[in-house]
Structures are given as structure tokens and as C-alpha cells.
């Protein structure tokens, strides 16, 4: 079985390190991008199985990244999960409206993060 590729688009080094560590420990192949445009380019060239997307990115925010990923033919079928500290009323709707399949709240729970990610990968495989 080939390893599932997960692209993490995150500008915070500590969050990026933690997410990468937790996913690699579960056997995932993790690709990193630190800015929105880098995330778009990497998604198009590497074709990950899932994209974990921070919403608070410099220059181009996660909402815009998600919209562009869903507009581009080569990336529109890749599921996107927002990983965000935005947890107020309306934030979930905004994330879904931008094209994300769901979201994981920050701070992430190290005990459950990989299971949450696995759940989104299962949804993709059932489509």
C-alpha cells in the first residue's frame, strides 16, 4: 500500500513541526508549504491525498487558497481541511463556503489529531 501524501500549508513553525511529527509517526508522507502561493504550487505539482490548510496565512489567506484550489482543475478534487483557531459562530460556515471539507480546531489535540485526519482521508476514499 502506498503512503498517503498530506500537504500542510502552515506558516507557524511550531504548528508545522507538531502536525508533521504526528502524521509522519502514523506513516503519512508529509509535504510542507509555508505560504499560500507555495501551497497552491505544491498541491498542483505533488497532488497530495489531503491538504491541511491554516486560515491565517501571510499575503494570501487560507480562504483564498481554498477557493483557488477548488477552481483549478488539477487540484479541485483534493479534499481540504482547515486547521484553524477560528472557532466562532460563522467561522465553520466560512471555511466550508471557501471549499474546505471540514476543519480541525487549534490548538490541535496531539492525542486525536491523526485520527481526525484519517477520518477525512476515509471520506475521500469513499467518494
The verdict on residue 100 lying in a domain is yes
Residues 6+ apart with CB under 8 A from 66: 53, 80, 82, 95, 98, 99, 100
| Residue 12 lies inside a defined structural domain of this protein | yes
Q: Which residue has the higher pLDDT, 13 or 87?
A: 13
Give how many domains the chain has, as a whole number.
Answer: 1
Would you say residue 51 has pLDDT above 70? yes
Task: Tell me what the mean pLDDT of segment 50-63 comes to.
Answer: 96
Contacts of 42 (CB under 8 A, 6+ apart): 7, 9, 31, 33, 48
104: domain CATH number? 3.40.50.2300
Query: How big is the CA angle at 26 (ends 24 and 31), to the nearest 5 degrees?
Result: 30
Digit-coded pLDDT (tens) for 63-120:
999 999 999 999 999 999 999 987 777 888 999 999 999 999 999 999 999 999 999 9
Dist. CA 123–CA 127, nearest whole Å? 7
Is 127 part of a structural domain of the chain?
no
Element (H, E) at 60: none
For residue 104, the enclosing domain spans 5-121
Amino acid at each position: 500500500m502506498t503512503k498517503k501524501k498530506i500537504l500542510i500549508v502552515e506558516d507557524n513553525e511550531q504548528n508545522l513541526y507538531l502536525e508533521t511529527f504526528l502524521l509522519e509517526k502514523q506513516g503519512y508522507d508529509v509535504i510542507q508549504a509555508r505560504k499560500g502561493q507555495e501551497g497552491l504550487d505544491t498541491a498542483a505539482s505533488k497532488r497530495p491525498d489531503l491538504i491541511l490548510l491554516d486560515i491565517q496565512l501571510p499575503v494570501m489567506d487560507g480562504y483564498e487558497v481554498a477557493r483557488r484550489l477548488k477552481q483549478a482543475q488539477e487540484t479541485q478534487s483534493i479534499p481540504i481541511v482547515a486547521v484553524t483557531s477560528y472557532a466562532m459562530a460563522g467561522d465553520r460556515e466560512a471555511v466550508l463556503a471557501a471549499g474546505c471539507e471540514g476543519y480541525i480546531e487549534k490548538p490541535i489535540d496531539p492525542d486525536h489529531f491523526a485520527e481526525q485526519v484519517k477520518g477525512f482521508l476515509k471520506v475521500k476514499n469513499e467518494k
